Chains A and B, each alone.
Chain A
Amino acid sequence: MSIASRLNDFLGRVSRLVLGGGREALENQKRKGKLTVRERLATLLDDGSFLETDLFVEHSARDFGMDSKKLAGDGVVTGFGTIDERQVAVFAQDFSVAGGSLGRAHAFKITKIMDSAADKKIPLIGINDSGGARIQEGVDSLCGYGEIFYRNTQLSGVVPQISVILGPCAGGAVYSPALTDFVFVVDRISNMFITGPQVIRTVLGEEISPEDLGGARTQASITGNAHFFAASEPEAFDQLRKLLSFLPSSSCEAPPLTQSRPPRQPLDDEVIPEDRRRAYDVKTVIMGLVDDSDFLEVQALYARNIVVGFARMEGRPVGVIANQPRYLAGVLDVDASDKASRFIRFCDAFSIPLLTLVDTPGYLPGVNQEHSGVIRHGAKVLYAYSEATVPKLTVIMRKAYGGAYIAMCSRHLGANFVVAWPTAEIAVMGPEGAANIIFRKEIEESPDPDGTRLEKIREYEEKFANPYVAAAKGYIDSIREPSRTREALAMVLRGARNSERGILVRRHGNFPV
């Protein structure tokens, strides 16, 4: 064959393969309101940066008539590309090819690109859109899933792993995303569950729609399985690119530096309501402290009593953990503990300093909480903060009571710098509760119990509901006004020798809690 005809043959093969399941199947995908696999990669990656690998891989299944079936790319597209000029490894399942089902060759392509991500120390992004295991390949497809899970675990804490759910992801397939660091879902497109509505109806008689059971909104707000919720696929990719801008490519690097920018809305000294019972939005405080008032919230719809996410201080990425008084008074509970501890461990694994903002009355009381294991879940927060070796900075804004004061990155758990505002109340419990216990006898025996109670509450408030008792003992490092807090935090961060951590290859994985 002449070179020209060889080239023609090659181009013919490529043009057939890049059509995936063919024009009709791609049209079907579009009719469902979804982008095609190649549109997705084009939207996600920098223009023209995609370098595809393993386009020509074929399956070798023989049973159930598979020996005569050709599946383009075996239902998954893999390769490298750049996002803001930084390399990433990607795989994207192609629903137009045999429903994106996972067989041996499909999984082999994925594990190959995962191994490359490990070698090159670059983030791994997986786009999931698959009907599940390729039943015709039997136990081979289970082997495929298992080998992916194994690599997800080995890669955890080494490179950031991100999953985007853009279609069904059911049964065993859900566990690859669950092992990764961040899961993105899109309204009315994503669907995740272990057992679907039909099985649940048959076995338990419970009726529920796929959307209610495991749709994007459910995964983002009820289960906490998803970290980012988007209204459309392009929005999800925008969020993903923004997330990556805060992260190092691997645990061997420091997080990327950008230029320092002042907050757009600097903090007012009266940002906190005087009355400790009054709620406010802690995100106002976060925006008032960080560069450009730019905050990327993680798990925004889940366990809203704690807010976590990424921001920058003088161009340097930080992970923010803040109690949210606006929701459930900012208490710590089972879900908030899981949310915070997982985020803290991610930041620690990737050398991102922690900034903790405290205003919490304590733990949520209730039988349900106790029986759900709030002791074990709450312990995760203590463990995560104590274990973390990144710079840990804490701002006590208002209430810091009892066990929750300790848990929210107190100096006792190894915080490097704790600053309290003049409105801070660092105490074993709130004045009302404390007065009722300490002065119980005096209140009971008083001719005017209500008057005495109020008097004792005021007495306790004056003596203990302030930052000065803790400051006198050196448990906090500094007391300053909100408007002068950013400069102090920035100075401490500037002095932190975080870069020395870079020589460690892997501190630990990011165990899904």
Chain B
Amino acid sequence: MGPTLTGDTLPIDSTEYDTEVPRDRLKPFSGMPEKRDVRAFIPGTIVEVLVREGEKVSPGRVLLLLDAMKMHNEVCSEITGRVRQVLVARGDRVEKNQLLVGLEY
């Protein structure tokens, strides 16, 4: 756990400075993105799902096509593993950051 930011002091090298700290500028870090969870990077429509549950995948393998920004965007695996779960089907509208495919190592 890092030091608590109160909004009026800023700790640097063990010294607490009295100063104005904008709360929105110092959002706590919530962890690196989980590569096993494949999410929609943009809202759109699923054109085609190209993998089945249980199938082996490696980095770069196209998992599905997402229609957005007038393009069929390839959504790829970033890991070597296996498809645990496919949560969408052809024709589904998806929101930004919606979970599409769950992978496992």
Contacts and interface: CB of A to CB of B under 8 A. Distances in A.
Bound pair: A and B? Answer: yes
A249 B29 CA distance: 47
Nearest to B16: A277
Q: What class of interface size applies to chain A in its complex with B? A: 20 to 34
Contacts of B10: 328-329, 331
Contacts of A436: 14
B43 interface: yes
Contact of A401 (B13, B16, B68): B13
Interface residues of B, number: 22
Interface in A400-445: 401, 429-434, 436
Interface stretch (B20-28, B46-54, B58-66, B76-84): B20-28
Contacts of B95: 205
Contact of A276 (B14, B15, B42, B96): B15
A330 B15 CA distance: 14
A365 B2 CA distance: 10
A368 B30 CA distance: 10
B1 interface: no
B17 A277 contact: yes
Interface in A250-285: 276-279
A160 interface: no
A431 B95 CA distance: 50
A277 B16 CA distance: 7
B14 A433 contact: yes
A34 interface: no
Contacts of B26: 366, 368
Given A278-B18, A328-B21, A203 B69 contact: yes
A151 interface: no
Contact of B19 (A328, A401, A432): A328
Contacts of B18: 277-279
A206 to B, nearest CB: 8
Nearest to B17: A329
Residue picked from B17, B25, B43, most chain A C-beta under 10 Å: B17
A278 B20 CA distance: 11
Contacts, number: 69
Contact of A367 (B15, B17, B29): B29
Given A203-B69, A205-B43, A368 B15 contact: no
A326 interface: yes
A362 interface: yes
A279 B16 CA distance: 11
B69 to A, nearest CB: 6
A365 B15 CA distance: 13
A439 B19 CA distance: 28
Contacts of B20: 279, 326-328
Nearest to A402: B13
Interface in A322-345: 325-331
Given A325-B17, A327-B20, A368 B27 contact: yes
A140 B21 CA distance: 48
A326 B43 contact: no
A277 B69 CA distance: 50
A318 to B, nearest CB: 26
Nearest to A222: B24
A364 B15 CA distance: 13
A278 B96 CA distance: 44
B66 to A, nearest CB: 12
A277 B19 CA distance: 8
A1 interface: no
A328 B18 CA distance: 9
A327 B12 contact: no
A365 B17 contact: no
Contact of A368 (B13, B21, B29): B29
A364 B12 CA distance: 8
A204 interface: yes
A162 to B, nearest CB: 29
A144 interface: no
A309 interface: no
Given A204-B43, A279-B18, A328-B19, A433 B13 contact: yes
Given A204-B96, A327-B20, A362 B12 contact: yes
A288 interface: no
A325 B9 CA distance: 11
5 contacts: A203-B68, A277-B18, A329-B10, A329-B19, A362-B13
Given A329-B17, A329-B19, 18 more contacts: A203-B68, A204-B43, A278-B18, A279-B17, A279-B20, A326-B19, A327-B19, A328-B19, A328-B22, A329-B10, A330-B19, A361-B13, A361-B15, A365-B12, A366-B29, A368-B26, A430-B14, A431-B15
